[in-house]
Amino acid sequence: MLQRLDEEGSRYGLTINTSKTKVMRNPFSSSASVLLRGSSIEDVNEYVYLGSQLNMKKDMAGELARRRRARWAAFSSMRS
């Protein structure tokens, strides 16, 4: 499926950046490596997509901690 997306996108001048593309799997999927143009796509347990931290466990603790750190960083930059 990923190969087909890459082929169709390349017809319009679009390419998939293999260094930024990640694979997140559910516990029932196969652990076979995902290849695109000979490069292995990295497997991850969680990642940030459109500003939200996603994971398969539906655990919000990491997302809340990430947002808290971002708030403190923004607040600290205003105080300086």
pLDDT score at 60: 78
3-state secondary structure of 45: coil
Which ranges constitute the DSSP H helices of 1-80? 2-10, 61-79
Report helix, strand and coil shares of the chain as percent, to nearest 5.
Answer: 35, 20, 45
Amino acid at 41: I
Per the model's pLDDT, the better-predicted residue between 7 and 49 turns out to be 7
Is residue 4 predicted with pLDDT exceeding 90? yes
Q: For residue 49, what are the β-bridge partners?
A: 52
Is residue 80 predicted with pLDDT exceeding 70? no
3-state secondary structure of 22: strand
Q: What is the pLDDT of residues 8-49, one digit of tens each?
A: 999 999 999 988 999 988 888 888 888 899 889 999 988 888
Q: What is the pLDDT of residues 55-71, one digit of tens each?
A: 887 777 777 888 888 88
pLDDT score at 64: 82
Domain definitions of the chain by residue range: 2-79
